[in-house]
């Protein structure tokens, strides 16, 4: 027998004795997990227990901005997608970037083209040491989450796994229409967009990298980016 069969066999043997449902009383309700039971619909109803989110789009944007301020994310709204290029140029000048890494997305390509800097394009593979030398990684994303101030991105939408974590500054280019209200909506979006063939990596990024491992004192930029900038364009 293989270990797989051994382990599955032990599990099946163990599960012959049912365990009482949590919060219930022993001997009652052992096997009444019906379609309407809370656990089965937890994902749908999580909205009722999670931190509240305003119904209006303006309210959601304001909440995202407030979370960003708490998290020390630099969140800026821009009038339109044409403004990405000038916003990036300003950042590059202000922070003295010498080299930037990015991927070929609709937004990123146009915005980084205007930078008067060498650009490391990652799409067809790249040298890790070169990316390590870059001052910033510029990516797109799949969604922004108002409830938590998170950016959702995947290896397909944002140039792989390292671009958004290796350079010391991560810049996200997003459209206002990508703002979703809460975590259930973000997972629904990932499911709708990718369930036919998921990317190998999907992540929720909430603020710049941080640690509290030394005396529980907050320090930004533990291993990932010290800075997270989100540029969000209205249509």
Partner 1 sequence: MSEILKLFKAQASKVAGDLRHRSLIQTALGKYETQRDRRKAAFQSWEEARQVAAETKWEAMRSLDEHLVSFVNKLEARGTRVHWASNGVQARDIILGVIRAKKARCVIKSKAMTAEEIHLNEAMEKEGYEVVESDLGEFIVQLRKEAPYHIVFPAMHLTRDEISDLFHRELGSAQTSDPEELTMIARRALRKKYIAADIGITGANFAIAETGMISITENEGNARLTAALPKTMITLLGIEKVLPRMADLALFLPMLATAGAGQPITCYNSLYGGPRRPGEPDGPEEYHVVLLDNRRTELLADAEQRDALHCIRCGACLNVCPIYRNVGGHTYGTTYSGPIGSVITPHLRGLQDWKHLSAASSLCGACTETCPVKINLHHHLLHNRRNAAAQNPNWIEKTAFRVFGTVMNSLALYRVVRAAARCLQPLHGLVKGGPFDPARAWTKTRELAPVAPKTFREQWKERA
- Span near partner 1 by CB under 8 A; candidates 92-100, 133-141, 171-179, 219-227: 219-227
Q: Which is nearer to partner 1, 107 or 208 (CB)?
A: 208
Among 144, 172, 174, 186, binds partner 1 (CB under 8 A): 186
H-helix or E-strand containing 141? none
Calpha distance 29→235 (Å, rounded): 53
| 189 counts as binding partner 1 under rule CB under 8 A | no
- Span near partner 1 by CB under 8 A; candidates 6-14, 78-86, 89-97, 108-116: 6-14
Burial of residue 173 (number of CB atoms within 10 Å: 0-12, 13-18, 19+) = buried
| 25 counts as binding partner 1 under rule CB under 8 A | no
Among 27, 48, 196, 235, binds partner 1 (CB under 8 A): 48
Per CB under 8 A, contacts with partner 1 among 85-124 are 103, 122-124
- Report CA torsion sign: 61, 65, 71, 76: positive
User: Measured from the CB of residue 121, what is the shortest distance to partner 1 in angstroms?
Assistant: 9
| 209 counts as binding partner 1 under rule CB under 8 A | yes
User: Measured from the CB of residue 86, what is the shortest distance to partner 1 in angstroms?
Assistant: 27
Q: For 4-34, give one letter per residue: b (16+ CB within 10 A) or e.
A: eeeeeeeeeeeeeeeeebeeeeeeeeeeeee
What is the full DSSP assignment across 110-129? HHHHTSSS-EEE-TT---HH
Among 25, 55, 56, 223, binds partner 1 (CB under 8 A): 223
| 214 counts as binding partner 1 under rule CB under 8 A | yes
Among 27, 38, 79, 96, binds partner 1 (CB under 8 A): 38
- In terms of DSSP H, where are the helices of 40-126? 42-45, 57-71, 83-95, 106-113
| 205 counts as binding partner 1 under rule CB under 8 A | yes
Residues 6+ apart with CB under 8 A from 44: 184
| 202 counts as binding partner 1 under rule CB under 8 A | yes
User: Measured from the CB of residue 23, what is the shortest distance to partner 1 in angstroms?
Assistant: 5
Within 13 Å, how many C-alpha atoms sit on residue 131's CB side? 23
């Amino acid at each position: 027998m293989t270990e797989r069969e051994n382990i599955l066999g032990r599990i099946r043997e163990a599960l012959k004795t049912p365990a009482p449902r949590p919060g219930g009383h022993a001997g009652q309700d052992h096997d009444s997990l019906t379609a309407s039971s809370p656990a089965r619909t937890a994902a749908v109803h999580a909205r009722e227990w999670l931190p509240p989110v305003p119904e209006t789009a303006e309210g959601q944007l304001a909440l995202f901005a407030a979370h960003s301020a708490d998290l020390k994310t630099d969140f800026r709204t821009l009038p339109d997608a044409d403004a990405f290029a000038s916003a990036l140029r300003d950042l590059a000048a202000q922070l003295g970037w010498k080299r930037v890494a990015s991927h070929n997305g609709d937004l990123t390509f146009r915005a980084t083209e205007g930078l008067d800097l060498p650009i490391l394009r990652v799409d067809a593979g790249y040298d890790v040491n070169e990316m390590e030398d870059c001052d910033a990684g510029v990516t797109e994303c799949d969604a922004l989450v108002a409830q938590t101030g998170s950016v959702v991105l995947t290896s397909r939408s944002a140039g792989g796994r390292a671009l958004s974590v290796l350079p010391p500054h991560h810049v996200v280019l997003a459209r206002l229409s990508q703002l979703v209200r809460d975590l259930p909506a973000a997972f629904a979006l990932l499911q709708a967009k990718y369930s036919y063939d998921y990317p190998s990596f999907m992540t929720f990024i909430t603020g710049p990298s941080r640690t509290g491992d030394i005396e529980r004192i907050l320090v930004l930029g533990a291993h990932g980016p010290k800075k997270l900038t989100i540029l969000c364009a209205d249509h």
